């Protein structure tokens, strides 16, 4: 799969830890809020909200929390005024990094991000300097125990998927934006449980990060992910998982 690196595997493991300490709920609530605010509170006519709700349900978020987030976004309840901002930068070894944030205080957010870049031998870059290295793709993962690799490959390719890889205990499927929902629905119609289904920024090519830079890049990426205002972190670094 073009642009696939060990960072996705590291993120998956980290998400399991985040879900245990409640951090995942915070990210999911913000995504529901932004999706409902921008596209309306009806998931039938708002694909982004539908995905956000599905992700929240998969994380066992109570229905009351989901409904309250939607009502805050649509003005039925008083809520926080969030803003979506994407930051771009370079880590050690020239690794390109994209950071998607949802914040109610952009001065705080950029200050925290800049501080982490500086501490880890990186730097923030101007808007547009990194974004062009990535493409928005659909990424679907599911546990290997549910279906054989050959059967799944035939199923998803027939539905319009671009590629599929075996990644640890999971299969990871990559789709175009246009075919994402079709592939997702095809899997659900086969009664397969999806570990995740989301739109992500995938690097067009991977960049090697050598020596000590590898460990520092991982530290920087994980530190960025830990910030309360950060929703997603992407990189083109070809990380070696230690």
Residue 146, domain member (yes or no)? yes
Predicted pLDDT at 2:
52
Specify the pLDDT at position 176: 96
Q: Are residues 48 and 145 in the same domain?
A: no
- pLDDT in 10s for each residue of the chain, 242 residues: 555 566 676 666 666 555 555 788 899 999 999 999 999 999 999 999 999 999 999 888 999 999 999 999 999 999 889 999 999 999 999 999 999 999 999 999 999 999 999 999 999 999 999 999 999 999 999 999 999 999 999 999 999 999 999 888 889 999 999 999 999 999 999 999 998 899 999 999 999 888 889 899 999 999 999 999 999 999 999 877 65
Residues 142 and 196 in one domain: yes
Buried b / exposed e over 91-128, threshold 16 CB at 10 Å, is: bbbebbbbbbbbbeeeeebbebbeebbeebebebbeee
- Are residue 11 and residue 68 in the same domain, yes or no? yes
**Number of independent structural domains in the chain:** 3
Say if 195 falls within a structural domain.
yes
Q: What's the confidence (pLDDT) of residue 19? A: 56
Structural domain of 183 = 134-203
* Digit-coded pLDDT (tens) for 174-197: 999 999 999 999 999 999 999 889
Domain boundary among 40, 74, 108: 74
Q: What's the confidence (pLDDT) of residue 49?
A: 96
The reply to whether 120 falls in a domain is yes
**Residues with Cβ within 8 Å of residue 166, at least 6 apart in sequence:** 144, 149, 172
Domain-ending residue, one of 28, 49, 74:
74
Identify whether residues 128 and 140 lie together within a single domain: no
Q: Are 224 and 95 in contact (CB under 8 A)?
A: no
Are residues 138 and 196 located together in one domain of the fold?
A: yes
CA 202, distance to chain mean position in Å, is 10
227's CB contacts (< 8 A; 6+ apart) are 101, 109, 112, 113, 116
Q: Does one domain contain both 154 and 194?
A: yes
């Amino acid at each position: 799969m073009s642009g696939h690196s060990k960072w996705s595997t590291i993120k998956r493991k980290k998400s399991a830890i985040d879900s245990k300490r409640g951090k995942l709920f915070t990210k999911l609530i913000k995504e529901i809020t932004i999706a409902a605010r921008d596209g309306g509170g009806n998931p039938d006519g708002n694909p982004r909200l539908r995905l956000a709700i599905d992700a929240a349900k998969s994380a066992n978020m109570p229905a009351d929390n989901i409904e309250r987030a939607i009502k805050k976004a649509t003005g039925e309840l008083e809520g926080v005024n969030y803003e979506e901002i994407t930051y771009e930068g370079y880590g050690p070894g020239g690794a390109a990094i994209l950071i998607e944030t949802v914040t109610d205080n952009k001065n705080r957010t950029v200050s925290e991000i800049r501080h982490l870049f500086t501490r880890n031998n990186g730097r923030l870059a101007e808007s547009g300097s990194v974004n062009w290295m990535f493409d928005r793709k659909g990424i679907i993962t599911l546990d290997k125990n549910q279906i054989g690799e050959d059967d799944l490959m035939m199923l998803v390719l027939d539905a319009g998927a671009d590629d599929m890889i075996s990644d640890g205990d999971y299969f990871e499927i990559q789709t175009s934006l246009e075919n994402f929902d079709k592939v997702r629905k095809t899997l659900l119609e086969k009664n397969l449980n999806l570990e995740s289904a989301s739109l992500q920024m995938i690097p067009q090519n991977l960049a090697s990060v050598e020596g000590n830079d590898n460990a520092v890049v991982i530290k920087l990426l994980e530190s960025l992910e830990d910030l309360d205002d950060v929703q997603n972190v992407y990189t083109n670094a070809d990380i070696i998982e230690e």
